[in-house]
Structures are given as C-alpha cells and as structure tokens.
Structure 1
Amino acid sequence: MRATVSPALARGSHTATYLEGMDWWRWLAAVVEAVLLGILLLLWYDTLRERPGWSWQQAARRPLIGAIAIPIGFLACLFLPWWLVLIIVAIPACAVIAMALAS
C-alpha cells in the first residue's frame, strides 16, 4: 500500500498525496463494502419494522445508530492491509447471501 510517485511528481511539479497513490481495487472494495453494509442496515430496518407494535420511528432508531458502520467500513477498506480488506468485505457479503438463501 505504498504511494507511488510518478516522475513528474518526483521533479516537484505537484505535491503527491496518499490518496493519489492508492490502488483502484481499494476504492472498489470500499464502495462494495459501503453498499453491502447499506443493504444489511435496510434488511435490519425491515426486520424491526415488521415486529408487532413497533412504529417506523422505533424501527428506524437502531439502524440509524448502526449506520456509523458504513463510513468506518469504507475507511477500513482504504487503509487496512489487503487480507483484512478481504475479510471485511467477505463478512457482510456472506451475511447478505445467507439472508437471500433463507428467504
């Protein structure tokens, strides 16, 4: 995960930032992680909404608190080692697949 510096940047024409040198797969993994976590939060909200006696406000409160996981997962995919990124993406992917097969 080293930022590579192009020859133009090495000559000092521009300043290199960490995000410029990031691999494309990290951005893709971060977007996939955010989408999967969003799907899980929507499924959680739907499950809570179907409980008898629960209003939509009560059902929405818990997933809104859990929504902090989306930016945390996104940033984790950008900055952690590749093998941890695979684990971080695989966990919600397996959960979504298991929920799809269960229904």
Structure 2
Amino acid sequence: MTIISATTPDRPPFVPCPCPPHGTALRVRCGALTVRVDAERDRLRSLLDESLRRIGPEAVPVDTVRALQADHRDADGLPAELAELVEETVGWTALFDLGARPLGLLRTALERG
C-alpha cells in the first residue's frame, strides 16, 4: 500500500483501503489502528490466561493447552467419537424410556456415512 499523506509527529500516516463495490478508498490512521489492535490483543490474551489458570492453576499456560489438545481428538477422530457419544446417549435414553427414536435415526444416518 502507498502512504498518501506525509507523516509528522502530530499526523500519523494514512493508507488507502479499497472499499467495494465503488472502488473508493477509506483513509485509515495506522497509528490509531495499531493502538486499538494492540489493546484488543492484550485483552484477548488476558482472557486466555485467566481461562487457562481456571483449568490448571499451578500449570504453565502452554502445558495446559497441550493437555487440552491431548484430551481431544483431531478432525479424523471426530466421526468415531460422535458415534460413540450417540451410542451412549441412545442407551441412556432407552434405559430411562425417554424416547430414543430421534437419536436412533441419527445413529442410522451416521452408519450410512
């Protein structure tokens, strides 16, 4: 992108951003945008750190993330896990006579692929 105005201490650079559908440009103050992006990144990082501390108060955050990832299947393992959960749910609803028919239909659909 091309800077379209001079940069001075009291005037940060402006850069054009295409705005469809008219092909016009929007003037963006990169300095102000950078400050907002940094603040949002810090806010989200704080939320993540707080959440990880709730899960593993004594653990290092990266170790907590690794433990969470190890406890969940990857995309290839999700259909098998879903089938197991459906079977468990169908069994539970049948045990308590809670109307397992809709879940049975779901199980049949999963078996067909």
**Shared fold by TM > 0.5?**
no
Could you tell me the TM-score, scaled by structure 2's length?
0.27
Higher relative contact order (CA 8 A, sep 6+): 1
